[in-house]
């Protein structure tokens, strides 16, 4: 869906949507429409849509009022995104190909207008490529949004938002594609394509290089798979030379069967999105790189497939990680931490980061604790945690702080190795975080985001269809914008 700016609304376009604040009566509209909106209890609440019909110059037009909520609301930006998203959701598969979006009646700033357009753009993304029999009336029809009444500066502001949308869409695509399409090597290939010509530098390690480096944990997870494991780094040097980079690390398990500790069949298909952490990092990097952020930022993704096989790791196996620490694998389904521990160690050794933040669909226990409303945030540094919480509030990629500490740490001691890869029955998300913490060097600010409940949604939201939410890409971009530039 393209967004075009224009001074006068194209006459042939049949749909006109106007953004309206809560309680406002927009001027210049047919009084019958206004009455209709009132009768329908349209209040201008964020995301509320009223549609009526009016005859304009002899042609019947569909006129929509789209609520943006209260003008002074604290979360005004998110409400405006929701309004843009609601306008698009209404007409995306309506049969209409074009929409005039009037931003001139709600007293918006350029930044406000940008939020509406970002919401509109994000809500328009869908993945219908494999639905070859989709009936005509369910296909996406909306191709163009003509923006009228945009305040001064909206168009230049839009460039930044378009970069963010590009990143979020990339995350959604990576998360949506099934595991026969997105596997470690094809994940890398998709990144090579997306970042071509952007000035970002991609570093790819295959199994031979990782063996050389001693990444026994990451390689252990991948050894039951026919697909070759990969470690991918995307480097963006937009900041001052010598400035320590912000490093983001993602869990990229392109499919998680559980391995020999195999998962039950019902719902296993969900584990195609067990690469959502890596997807967030790839999309976050694409946003940062596309808007040429003035910061040094690196994304590292550990890409593996976790399969049961004659060559797979077994419960009880002891693996030696790149850090030299050893791990007793008591459950091959607790594989994400095995991938991340080597990726985190390598990232610290290679890039000497200012701080490291990892993203992972790490534990089902995280969904038990926080549901689908917040990702869990674990950190060894309060300042870093606060920055991430703030970036999450701004972008609606919400996080909630969880505890870590020595009492939890001792729950993963092993009688045969330095640690085991699972704790007991309780506090499963925290013991997973403690495992990762053992691979963070003293003095390195680190945060871990367990986003198991956030990357996929069984219902549509303000900025996504049912399915991939794009979670994490905007969080990364916002963190970089607010704290690294
Ligand atoms: N990828 C899963 C976690 C997960 C579960 C994400 C459901 C999204 C939805 C992870 O690899 C896993 O299997 N974790 C186990 C850990 C357990 C064996 C200690 C879990 O959560 O059950
Ligand atoms: Mn697992
Ligand atoms: Zn997993």
Residue 110 and residue 170 share a domain:
no
Sign of CA dihedral 197, 202, 206, 208: positive
Q: What token pair was written down for 6? A: 């224009």
336 close to ligand 1 (CB < 6 Angstrom): yes
- Ligand 2 mean position to 232 CA, how many Å? 21
Q: Is residue 157 part of a domain?
A: no
452 close to ligand 1 (CB < 6 Angstrom): yes
Predicted pLDDT at 289: 98
- From 363, 376, 425, the mutation candidate for ligand 1 (largest count of ligand atoms within 8 A of CB) is 363
Residue 124 and residue 191 share a domain:
no
Residues contacting 133, CB < 8 A, separation 6+: none
What average pLDDT does the segment 362-373 reach?
Answer: 98
Domain boundary among 152, 183, 200: 152
Q: Is residue 316 part of a domain?
A: yes
Residue 128 and residue 40 share a domain:
yes
256 close to ligand 1 (CB < 6 Angstrom): yes
**Coil, strand or helix: which one is 220?**
helix
CATH of the domain at 75: 3.40.220.10
SS3 content of the chain, % helix, strand, coil (to 5): 35, 20, 40
Share of the chain above pLDDT 90, in %: 96
Residue 193 and residue 114 share a domain:
no
pLDDT mean across residues, the chain: 97
18 close to ligand 1 (CB < 6 Angstrom): no
Which one of the ligands is nearest to 308 CA? 2
328 close to ligand 1 (CB < 6 Angstrom): no
Q: Is residue 413 part of a domain?
A: yes
Q: Is residue 368 part of a domain?
A: yes
Share of the chain above pLDDT 70, in %: 100
Options 62, 160, 251, 337, the catalytic residue: 337
363 close to ligand 1 (CB < 6 Angstrom): yes
What average pLDDT does the segment 9-32 reach?
Answer: 91
Poorest-pLDDT segment among 24-38, 40-54, 147-161 = 24-38
What average pLDDT does the segment 33-48 reach?
Answer: 96
Between β-strands 375-379 and 446-450, what pairing exists: parallel, antiparallel or unpaired? antiparallel
Is it the case that residue 27 has pLDDT exceeding 90?
no
- Ligand 1 mean position to 429 CA, how many Å? 9
Residue 201 and residue 54 share a domain:
no
- Segment 374-411, tens digit of pLDDT: 999 999 999 999 999 999 999 999 999 999 999 999 99
In what order do the strands lie in the sheet containing 296-306? 201-205, 230-237, 296-306, 246-256, 355-360, 446-450, 375-379, 399-401
Residue 47 and residue 169 share a domain:
no
- Measured CA to CA in angstroms, residue 153 lies from 96, 157, 159 at distances of 28, 6, 11
CA-CA distance, 322 to 162, in Å (whole number)?
39
Name the CA radius of gyration of the chain, rounded.
24
Reported as a pLDDT band with limits 50, 70 and 90, residue 174 is very high
- Segment 98-139, tens digit of pLDDT: 999 999 999 999 999 999 999 999 999 999 999 999 998 999
Predicted pLDDT at 427: 98
- Segment 182-227, tens digit of pLDDT: 999 999 999 999 999 999 999 999 999 999 999 999 999 999 999 9
CATH of the domain at 202: 3.40.630.10
- Residue whose C-alpha is closest to residue 304's, from 180, 219, 191, 210: 219
**pTM exceeds 0.95 for this model:** yes
Reported as a pLDDT band with limits 50, 70 and 90, residue 55 is confident
Residue 336 and residue 213 share a domain:
yes
- Ligand 3 mean position to 334 CA, how many Å? 7
What average pLDDT does the segment 461-469 reach?
Answer: 98
Ligand 1, atom 22: closest residue by C-alpha: 364
Crossing angle of the two packed helices 110-123 and 76-91, in degrees rounded to 10: 40
Residue 169 and residue 192 share a domain:
yes
- Ligand 2 mean position to 363 CA, how many Å? 8
Reported as a pLDDT band with limits 50, 70 and 90, residue 11 is confident
**Can you tell me which residue has the tokens 């606060």?**
386
- Segment 301-358, tens digit of pLDDT: 999 999 999 999 999 999 999 999 999 999 999 999 999 999 999 999 999 999 999 9
Predicted pLDDT at 67: 98
Q: Is residue 158 part of a domain?
A: no
Is it the case that residue 26 has pLDDT exceeding 90?
no
Which one of the ligands is nearest to 269 CA? 1
Predicted pLDDT at 368: 98
333 close to ligand 1 (CB < 6 Angstrom): yes
Reported as a pLDDT band with limits 50, 70 and 90, residue 28 is confident
Residue 279 and residue 316 share a domain:
yes
- Ligand 1 mean position to 422 CA, how many Å? 11
CA-CA distance, 119 to 348, in Å (whole number)?
36
Options 43, 71, 93, 263, the catalytic residue: 263
Read off the DSSP letter of residue 367: H
What average pLDDT does the segment 11-20 reach?
Answer: 94
- Give me the number of domains the chain comprises: 2
Residue 263 and residue 382 share a domain:
yes
The domain of 375 spans 163-484
- Segment 265-315, tens digit of pLDDT: 999 999 999 999 999 999 999 999 999 999 999 999 999 999 999 999 999
Predicted pLDDT at 230: 99
- Ligand 2 mean position to 257 CA, how many Å? 7
Residue 111 and residue 247 share a domain:
no
DSSP H or E stretch at residue 479 = helix 473-483
Domain boundary among 97, 125, 152: 152
Query: Quick check: is 337 catalytic?
Result: yes
Residue 179 and residue 128 share a domain:
no
What average pLDDT does the segment 44-53 reach?
Answer: 97
450 close to ligand 1 (CB < 6 Angstrom): no
- Residue whose C-alpha is closest to residue 112's, from 69, 145, 170: 69
Domain boundary among 114, 130, 152: 152
> Which atom of ligand 1 lies nearest, measured to the CA of 270?
9
Is it the case that residue 29 has pLDDT exceeding 90?
no
Ligand 1, atom 16: closest residue by C-alpha: 334
Reported as a pLDDT band with limits 50, 70 and 90, residue 446 is very high
């Amino acid at each position: 869906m393209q967004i075009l700016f224009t001074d006068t609304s194209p006459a042939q376009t049949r749909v006109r949507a106007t953004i309206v604040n809560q309680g406002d009566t927009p001027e210049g509209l047919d009084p019958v429409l206004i009455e209709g909106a009132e009768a329908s209890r349209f209040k201008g609440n964020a995301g509320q849509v009223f549609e009526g019909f009016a005859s304009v110059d002899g042609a019947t037009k569909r006129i929509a009022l789209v609520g943006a909520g209260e003008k002074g609301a604290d979360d005004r930006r998110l409400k405006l995104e929701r309004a843009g998203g609601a306008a698009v959701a209404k007409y995306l598969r309506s049969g209409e190909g074009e929409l005039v979006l009037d931003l001139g009646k709600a007293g918006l700033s350029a930044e406000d207008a940008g939020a509406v357009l970002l919401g509109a753009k994000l809500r328009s993304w869908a993945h219908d490529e494999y639905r070859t029999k989709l009936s005509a009336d369910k296909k996406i029809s909306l191709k163009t949004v003509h923006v009228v009444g945009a305040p001064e500066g909206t168009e230049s502001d839009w460039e930044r938002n378009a970069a963010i949308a590009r990143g979020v869409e990339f995350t959604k695509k990576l998360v949506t594609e099934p595991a026969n399409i997105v596997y470690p090597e094809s994940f890398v290939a998709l990144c090579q394509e997306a970042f071509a010509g952007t000035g970002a530098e991609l570093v790819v390690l295959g199994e031979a290089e990782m063996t050389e480096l001693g990444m026994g944990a990451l390689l252990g997870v991948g050894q039951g798979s026919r697909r070759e494991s990969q470690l991918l780094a995307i480097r963006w040097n937009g900041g001052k030379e010598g400035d320590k980079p912000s490093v983001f690390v993602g869990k990229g398990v392109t499919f998680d069967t559980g391995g020999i500790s195999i998962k039950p069949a019902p719902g296993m298909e969900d584990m195609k999105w067990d690469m959502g952490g890596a997807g967030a990092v790839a999309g976050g990097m694409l946003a940062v790189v596309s808007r040429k952020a003035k910061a040094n930022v690196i994304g590292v993704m550990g890409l593996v497939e976790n399969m049961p096989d004659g060559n797979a790791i077994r419960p009880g196996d002891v693996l030696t990680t790149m850090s030299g620490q050893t791990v007793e694998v008591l459950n091959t389904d607790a594989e994400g931490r095995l991938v991340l521990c080597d990726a985190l160690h390598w990232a610290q050794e290679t890039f000497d980061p200012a701080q490291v933040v990892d993203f992972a669909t790490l534990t089902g226990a995280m969904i038990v604790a926080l549901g689908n409303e917040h990702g869990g945030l674990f950190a060894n540094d309060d300042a870093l945690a606060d920055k991430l919480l703030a970036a999450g509030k701004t972008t609606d990629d919400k996080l909630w702080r969880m505890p870590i500490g020595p009492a939890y740490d001792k729950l993963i001691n092993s009688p045969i190795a330095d640690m085991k890869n699972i704790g007991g029955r309780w506090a499963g998300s925290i013991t997973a975080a403690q495992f990762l913490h053992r691979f963070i060097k003293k003095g390195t600010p680190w945060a871990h985001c367990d986003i198991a409940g956030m990357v996929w949604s069984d219902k549509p939201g303000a900025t996504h269809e049912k399915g991939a939410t794009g979670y994490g890409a905007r969080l990364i971009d916002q963190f970089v914008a607010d704290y690294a530039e």
